[in-house]
Structure 1
Amino acid sequence: MIYPPRFLSKPLLLALCVSGTFSDAIAAATDQLPTISVVGSREKAFTTNAVQLGAFRDQTGLDTPLTVQVVTRELLDAQASTTLFDALKNTAGVSRAQIGGGVYDNLSIRGIGAENRANYRLNGALPVVNLIEMPLENKARVEALKGVSALYYGFVSPSGIVNMVTNRAGNTPVTSVEVRADHKGSRNIHGDLARRFGDRQQFGARFNLSAGEVALGAPGYEGERYFASAALDWRATDMLSFKLDLEQIKKDVPEPMAIVVPTAVNGRITLPSPPNPDLAYTNPDWQHTDARADHVLLRSDLRINDRWAATLEAGRAETKRERVSSQFQKYDLATGEGEMQAFLQYGQAYSNDNLRLELAGMVDTGPISHELTLGYTANKRFQAGPVGSSVTMGQNLYTPRAIAWRNVTAPTVFNPSTITDKGGYLLDRLRLPGDLQLLAGLRYSDYENRAVEGATGKVTTYSTNDVSSSLGLIWSVQPKLSLYTSYIEGLEEGGTAPGNAVNAGEILKPALSKQAEVGIKGDFANWQFAAAVFNIDRTQAYTNAQNVYALDGLARYRGVEASLAGEVLPRTALYATAMLLDAKQRQAADARQIGKRPENSSQKAVSLFIEHKLLAVTGLAINTGVYYTGNRAVNALNQAYIPGVTLLNAGASYRTKLMGNETTLRLNIENLANKRYWAATGKGTLGVSESRTVKLAMKTSF
C-alpha cells in the first residue's frame, strides 16, 4: 500500500487541523488578519466571464473563436461532482470510452478519444497524466476546449483539451470541512483552508486535504483515496508575481473488468445483456490498481510596462502505478460463463516535464491594434509501460464468483519511450475598425520519439518538424453578441506499426487534423448562450492492402453544438448543451469501413441540469438533471451498437446555520431509475455502468 494510516484516523486529523490547531497557526502567522469584504459583481449562476485555456487565457468567451464550455464550482457543488466525467457529462459530446470508470475517467470528445498523457491540463499549462482519478475538491472550474488545439499545446489529439483550474486564496478567508458518503459505502472528508497575509496582503495560501474510502456496492470493490494540495502565490511587487501549485493524489482500488466484444458471426455481433453493476464489479481482492500522482507547477508573471508582459511556467507531472487489470472473454451469451484474463503490470511510470516562455504585448499600426503573443514551449514525456505476465481463469459475467490468486513468475518486460515536443508560436489578434477582430497564428513544432524494445534492447528513433496554422475572425455585432469563424490545424502522433506489419516498429510521421468552425455567442444580463457548426478532418493510420502500416486513413467529424447557461427565470438556473454529430470514415484499408461511423461516436447527445431555489423555504434548492447519449458503434465496421441511454438525476440542498456556522446539507441521487446499460465501448471492449447511487454531504464553514 502507498497510503497513510487507516482512514478512520483521517477524519479526526483533518477536523483538528482545519478547525483548530492549523487554523490557529495560520491566524497567528497572519497577525489575526480581519476578514476583508470586497464589493463587486458576483458571477452569474452556472456562468463565467473568462476562459483559462491556451492562448485565450483571461479572454472572455465572446473573444474566443472556438467552442469552450466551462463547468463552474457552483455547478460542481450542486451535482456533488467528484470525477472529471461527473463534471463533463454536462457538456454534450463528452462520453466515456473503453471503460466505465472506477479507477479513472477515459474520455471521448466529439467521438474522438482524448489522449491521457497530453490532453488533460492543470491551470491551462501542465499536461497531467490522466491514469488516476483527478480530484475536484480544490478546483474552481473544469473547462473543455473542443476540437483541434495545436497552436498552444503542440502534439495532442484533436478531441480537445480538458483543463482543471485550481482555487486560490481570495480576500475572504476560508475554513471549511465537508463530509461525504453514499449508500454503497463510500465516505470522504475534505478540509479547505485559505488565507491572505502580509502587510500588503501580498501572500496567499490555500490548502486542501481529503481522504476516504471508495466502494461501488459490489463484493470485493473496496479501496482508499487520498489527496492533498497547496496553491501558493506571492505578489512580490506591482510588476512581479509568482504562483505555485502542488498536488499529490493516491488511490488504491480494484479495477473493474473490461468486457471483450464478442466475435462477429456472418458480419454481425450479438452483444451480451448489460450485467448487474452491483455484481459485475466483483473482483478478486488481489486485483488492485495502486496509483500515485504528483504535480508541481510554478508560474511567474512580469509586467514589463503598461503594454508588455512576460510569463514563465515550469512544471512536472508524475504518475506511478502497480496494476493488475483483467478482461472477460470467450463467454457464452446465454449463461455468462467464460474466462477472465488478468494482466500483471507492475512498475508503470509516466512523467511530463513542461516549460513555457511567453511574451505578450500591444502594438498599434494606425487604426489597427495588434495584441501579440510570442511563445516557446517544450515538453518531455517519458513512459515505462511494462508488458507483464497474465493468468487465465474461469468466471461468469452475470454471477461472478470469488477467485483465488495464482502465483505467476513470468518476468515483466519494460518498453520505455521518451517523446520530446518543442515548439514556438506566434498569435496576432488584430482589432480592426468596425468591431472586427482577426486572429492569425503559426506554430513551429520539433518532435522526437525514442523507444526502446525491452526484450531486445533495440532503439527506434523518429524525429520531424512541421508548421501548423490557425485563423479566426470575430465580429462584435453588439457589445454582448458576437459571430465568429475559425480554421485551425493540429498535429498528433502517427503511431507505431504493429508487429505483424511489413514495417513493424516503424514510428509514423505526425498525423494532421484540420478544423473549421462557425459560431455565435451571447453574454447577457443573467445568461449566456453559444452555438457552432464544426468540421474536423482527421488523418488516421491503418494497415493497408500491402500490409504496410501507413497514414492513409481519414475520418470526418461534422456537427452542430449549442449551449445555454444562467438564470433563465427568477431563482431558476440551468445548464443545457446539445450536439448533433455526423462522423464517418472517408478513407480506410477495409473498403467496408468507408461511410461507417467511427467507434464510440454518438450521433446525438443532450444534457440538461436545472436548479430552483424555493421562495417558500429560505436556503432550500431542488435540482434535476437529464443526460442522453445516443447509440455508439463497437467497432469500425459498425457490426453492433451499444444502445443509447437517458439518465435521470435528482437532488436538493439546504443552506442554514448550525451552532452559528454556515452549513450546507446536500442530497443527490444519480441514475434515479437504476438503469442497466453499457457505459462505454472502444478498442474491442465494453464498459459496465454504475447502478443508482444516493449521495449525502454536509459542508460547514467556520
Structure 2
Amino acid sequence: MSHPVHAQAILPAFRINQLAGLLLLSGMISMAYMPRAYAEAVQESHAALPAFNIAAGSMDQVLNAYARQTGILLVIDASLTQGKQSRGLRGQYDVLPGLNAILTGSGLQAVVQDNGSYKLQKALQPLPATAGAVDTLPEVAVSSARVAEDHSIYAGAQVARAGRAGMLGQRDFLDVPFNVTNYTAETIANQQARSIVDVLQNDPSVRQTSARTNINEDFSIRGFTVASQDIALNGMYGLAPYYRVPVEMAERVEVLKGPSALLNGMPPSGNVGGSINIVPKRAGDEALSRFGVSYMRDSVYGGTADLGRRFGENNEFGVRLNGMYRKGDTAIDQQKLEEFMGSLALDYRGERLRVTADFINQQETINKVVRQFQADTGLTKMPGAPDNQLNYPGYGHSQMKDRSMVLRGEYDVTDAMMVYAGVGRRTSLMDAVAGNPILKSTSGNYNSTPIWQLFEVKSESFEAGSRIKFDTGPIGHQVSVGATKVIQNTDLSMVALLPGVLVNSNIFSPVYIGIPSTSGFADNKTKYTAMTLTSFALADTLSFLDEKVQVTLGARQQRVEQQAYLFSTNSPYDKSALTPVGGVVFKPQENVSLYANYIEGLSQGQQAPVGASNAGQIFSPYKTKQREAGIKVDWGKLATSVSVFEIEKPSAITSGGTYSVSGEQRNRGVEFNVFGEVADGIRILGGGAYTQGELVKNASRALNGNTAVGVPDWQISLGGEWDPVPVPGLTLTSRVIYTSKQYVDQANNLSIPSITRFDIGARYKTVLNATPVTLRANIENLFNRDYWNTSNEGYIYLGMPRTLLLSATADF
C-alpha cells in the first residue's frame, strides 16, 4: 500500500529514527561490556564463593531469604529491623560479607557468636566495602533523603511507599488524603506486562474498557472513563504515547483515584475517574546490564534490553537505556503484531540541582486489528459471547508511531524552598483501516464500514512551580504553587473505502476479508481540533501536633480554549473555571491514617455527535465533585485501606434528536485495598470494590434511577505469591479478576453477565555461571472463558483468549 503524501511527511523522521537506533544499539553494547574486565578478574580469585540473586524488599524478607539459602542460624531482633528496607543481594559472597552487604545503609551489622550463629547489632562504625563480592561494582551510598524516599518500596516489593501527588510532590501513601497505589517495576516484570493495561488489572477499582488488540487502550476508574491519552508522563499531560502506553521504561505506575484537577491540572480529554502517572526508570547506583527474551501465544517472539550506568565523582550523572521488540502471530485469528519501544533516560543528581531528560520512541503495527462493537438501537438482547479467538470485524490494520521528549529540573533554593520546571513535546501518528461493527440481532448478525483513518496529534506541555516549607508558631506549612499549559493540535482524515457498501457478518461465524485498498484515495489530513489548557494553582498543607494532623487546602484556576473544525456551526471556545480541594489526614498512631477529601474535577464541554440536530455544538466546561473518606493501616509488612466515596458528574443524553447535558451520573462506592506480606514468603496484592452507579436529575425521567452504563456493582482483583521453602528461588503466583453484571445502554435494556478470570504463573531465580537469571511463565484467562466486556460509553468487546507468556532475563 502506497501513500505518497504521507510517506514524504514521515521520511525525515524515519531516517532520524534509524540513526537514533544505531546510536542506541552501539551505546548498549559498549555499556554492557564496560565492567567485564573488572568482573572477570575478580571471578578468577573467587570462583568458589556461592552466588546470590535476592530481590530487594523489607530487611526481614531479604535476611530470611539469605538465611534459607546459606543454611545459617541468624538471630534477628525485630525492633532493629522494623520498617527497614534492603536492596537485596546479587553476586558471589562469603557468609559474613554477604550479610553486611544486605545491611548496607541500615545502621546495622552482623557479628559471629561463639556458637557459630550470626546476630544483628547496631553498627559501631561505618561498614567497610565488602571484599567478598564478585561481579558487583562498588556500592555508592546516596545521602539525599529525597532520592531514598522516592525509591522506597513496601514489603513484598510490589508497591512503592511513596508516589507523586501532583503539585504537592512526593508523599508517602499514609500522608496523602486520597486512595493511591504505586506499582513497581518488579510487579511489571513479574507479571510480564506488555502495556499499562496489564498493570492496572491489579487494581479492583480499575477496569479495561477496550479490546486488548484494539487501536487504543482505555480504562474505567471508579466507574468513569479514563482515556489512554490522559496518562501523565513524569507528572505532565500530553506526553505519554497516545493510544497504547508501554511499560518497559516504567519504574512506577502511579494510580490516584477520583478527580484531581487541583493536583495535576485538567487532562486533555477531561477524564475525572482518576489519574495515572508513569515514572520513567533512572540509572541506579549499581551498574545494570539486563537482557531478556520472551514468547507469547501463538508465536509472538521478542527481546528486551535494560542498561543503566552512573558516572562522575559522586555518581551524579545517570544513563538508562531500555529497548523492546516483539513480532509474530497473536492468539486472535489471522492477527499479526509488531512492536518496538526505545527509551533513553538521562539524569543529573547534584547537591541542590536535579535534572532529568526522557526520550521515548514507540511504534506498533497490528494486522487484522480488532474493534469493539456498538449495539444497534433495535437490539433487544445481547447474544452470548462467541469464541474469543475469532476476529472482528475480520479486516483492517493499524500503524502507530509516537515520539516523546521531556526535560524537567528541580533546584533547592534553600533547605526549605525548591523550584521546578518542565517542558515536553510529543508527536503521534496513526494510519489505520478499521470499522466499528454494529451488532444487529440476538443471533449475532453485524455489519461494518471500512474507514481509512489518518490521525496526527502534536502536543506541547509546560509546567513550573515551587514548594516552600515554613512554620507559623506550632503550625507547619508546605505551600505549593504551580502553573501548567498543554497545547494540543489534531489533524484527521477519514475516508470510507467502500462507499455505500456494508460488510455483513456474524459473530459466531465471521467472514474474513482482505484489507480494502486505499489506492486512489487522497490522504490529506485536515484540522480537526485545537486545544490549549492553561492553569494556575495554589495549595497549602498545614501540619499540627508533630504532623499527626495534616490539612490541605487549595484551588486551581483553569482556562480551556478549544476549536473544532469539522462543523461550520462551531465558534472558538474559551471558558474558565475554579476547582477547589480540601483534604485532611489524621494519624492517631504512626502506622494509622484516617483521611477525608473534597475535590473537584474539570472537563472540557461535551460535543454533540454526528446525527444529532445540534451536531458539533460544544457545551461549557463542567465540574465533577468527589467526597471521600477512608482509613489506611500499615501493619508492618502488610498495608490495608478502606475508602468510601461519592462522585457526581454531569451527563449527556440525546432526546428528541437533540443532544444536551441535562442529567447527572452519581457513583457511590466502597473500596478495599491490600498489599504486602501476610507471612514470610507469602505476598498479596489487590482488593475489592462495590460501586452504585446511578443516573439522576435527567430531563428524561424514565432514565432516573437506572444503573449507569459500564458500572458493575462488584469488582475484585486479588493476586497472591508464594515462595515454597523447599525450592529456593521458586515463586508460584495466582490471581482472580471478577466483574459483576454490567448494563450496555442507559435504558438498562441490554446487559452482559458477570466475568471471572483466573491467571496463574511461576518464576524461578537462579545463578548460572555467576549470571543471575530469572525465568517466568504466566497464563492469563486460564480456563479460556469467552466473555463480553463494555465501556462507560456502551462499546462492547470480547475478552482475550487463554494466553501463555514465557520470558527469561539475565543480568550480566
TM-score by length of 2: 0.79
- Aligned to 1:150, which of 261, 270, 281? 261
Instruction: Give the CA deviation at 1:339.
Output: 2.9
Instruction: Give the CA deviation at 1:325.
Output: 1.4
Partner in structure 1 of residue 138 of structure 2: 35
What is the distance in 2 between the residues matched to 1:405 and 1:417? 29
Partner in structure 2 of residue 362 of structure 1: 469
**Residues 129, 318 of structure 1: 8 Å contact kept:** no
Partner in structure 2 of residue 161 of structure 1: 275
- Aligned to 1:445, which of 558, 565, 568? 558
Summarize the Cα distance change of 1:466–1:439 in structure 2 as closer, same or farther, 3 Å threshold: same
AA partner of residue 193 (structure 1): L
Residue 634 (1) aligns with residue 751 (2): no
AA partner of residue 175 (structure 1): S
Summarize the Cα distance change of 1:661–1:103 in structure 2 as closer, same or farther, 3 Å threshold: farther
Overall identity of the aligned pairs, in %: 26
Instruction: Give the CA deviation at 1:678.
Output: 0.8
Secondary structure of the residue that 2:33 maps to in structure 1?
helix
**Residues 357, 405 of structure 2: 8 Å contact kept:** yes
- Aligned to 2:587, which of 456, 476, 480? 476
What is the distance in 1 between the residues matched to 2:535 and 2:174? 28
Partner in structure 2 of residue 24 of structure 1: 33
Secondary structure of the residue that 2:346 maps to in structure 1?
strand
Summarize the Cα distance change of 1:303–1:197 in structure 2 as closer, same or farther, 3 Å threshold: same
**Residues 463, 484 of structure 2: 8 Å contact kept:** yes
Which stretches in structure 2 are left out of the alignment for 5+ residues?
Answer: 2-9, 38-134, 143-147
Partner in structure 1 of residue 621 of structure 2: 510
What is the distance in 2 between the residues matched to 1:621 and 1:490? 42
What is the distance in 2 between the residues matched to 1:548 and 1:522? 50
Identify which range, 687-696 or 95-104, moves more after superposition.
95-104
Summarize the Cα distance change of 1:499–1:185 in structure 2 as closer, same or farther, 3 Å threshold: closer
AA partner of residue 252 (structure 2): R
What is the distance in 1 between the residues matched to 2:731 and 2:602? 46
Residue 542 (1) aligns with residue 653 (2): yes
Cα shift readout 1:615-657 (whole Å, capped 9, x = no counterpart): 1011111011111111111111111111111111111111011
Query: Which aligned pairs between 1:516-531 and structure 2 lie closer than 5 A?
Result: 516-531=627-642
- Aligned to 1:318, which of 406, 427, 433? 427
Identify which range, 394-403 or 644-653, moves more after superposition.
394-403
Identify which range, 390-399 or 245-254, moves more after superposition.
390-399
What is the distance in 2 between the residues matched to 1:256 and 1:190? 26
What is the distance in 2 between the residues matched to 1:21 and 1:376? 41
**Residues 444, 467 of structure 1: 8 Å contact kept:** yes
Higher share in strand: 1
Instruction: Give the CA deviation at 1:464.
Output: 1.3
Summarize the Cα distance change of 1:345–1:423 in structure 2 as closer, same or farther, 3 Å threshold: same
RMSD over equivalenced CA pairs, Å: 2.8
**Residues 494, 540 of structure 1: 8 Å contact kept:** no
Residue 579 (1) aligns with residue 693 (2): no
Secondary structure of the residue that 2:512 maps to in structure 1?
coil
**Residues 168, 263 of structure 2: 8 Å contact kept:** no
**Residues 218, 281 of structure 1: 8 Å contact kept:** no
Secondary structure of the residue that 1:87 maps to in structure 2?
helix
Instruction: Give the CA deviation at 1:306.
Output: 1.1
Instruction: Give the CA deviation at 1:163.
Output: 1.2
AA partner of residue 33 (structure 2): D
Cα shift readout 1:396-433 (whole Å, capped 9, x = no counterpart): 32223331344465656734211111111001000123
Instruction: Give the CA deviation at 1:26.
Output: 8.8
Higher share in helix: 2
Instruction: Give the CA deviation at 1:52.
Output: 1.9
Query: Which aligned pairs between 1:32-71 and structure 2 lie closer than 5 A?
Result: 34-36=137-139, 38=141, 43-45=154-156, 46-71=158-183
AA partner of residue 370 (structure 1): H
Instruction: Give the CA deviation at 1:602.
Output: 1.0
Residue 607 (1) aligns with residue 717 (2): yes
Summarize the Cα distance change of 1:637–1:73 in structure 2 as closer, same or farther, 3 Å threshold: same
TM-score by length of 1: 0.91
- Aligned to 2:187, which of 62, 66, 75? 75
What is the distance in 2 between the residues matched to 1:407 and 1:306? 63
Residue 371 (1) aligns with residue 482 (2): no
AA partner of residue 446 (structure 1): R
Instruction: Give the CA deviation at 1:116.
Output: 3.4
What is the distance in 1 between the residues matched to 2:750 and 2:614? 31
What is the distance in 2 between the residues matched to 1:473 and 1:43? 23
Instruction: Give the CA deviation at 1:539.
Output: 1.3
AA partner of residue 73 (structure 1): A
Summarize the Cα distance change of 1:315–1:16 in structure 2 as closer, same or farther, 3 Å threshold: closer
What is the distance in 1 between the residues matched to 2:439 and 2:560? 41
Partner in structure 2 of residue 643 of structure 1: 753
What is the distance in 1 between the residues matched to 2:659 and 2:550? 43
Query: Which aligned pairs between 1:203-282 and structure 2 lie closer than 5 A?
Result: 203-235=317-349, 237-254=350-367, 255-264=369-378, 269-280=380-391
Identify which range, 184-193 or 505-514, moves more after superposition.
505-514
Partner in structure 1 of residue 773 of structure 2: 663
Identify which range, 74-83 or 194-203, moves more after superposition.
74-83
**Residues 129, 350 of structure 1: 8 Å contact kept:** no
Q: Computing the radius of gyration over CA atoms, which structure comes out larger, 1 or 2?
A: 2
Instruction: Give the CA deviation at 1:488.
Output: 0.6
Cα shift readout 1:207-253 (whole Å, capped 9, x = no counterpart): 00111115322332002100000110013x42222100111100010
Instruction: Give the CA deviation at 1:22.
Output: 4.4
AA partner of residue 485 (structure 2): A
Which stretches in structure 1 are left out of the alignment for 5+ residues?
Answer: none
Secondary structure of the residue that 1:380 maps to in structure 2?
strand
**Residues 104, 130 of structure 1: 8 Å contact kept:** no
What is the distance in 1 between the residues matched to 2:294 and 2:700? 51
Query: Which aligned pairs between 1:118-129 and structure 2 lie closer than 5 A?
Result: 119-128=230-239
AA partner of residue 93 (structure 1): S
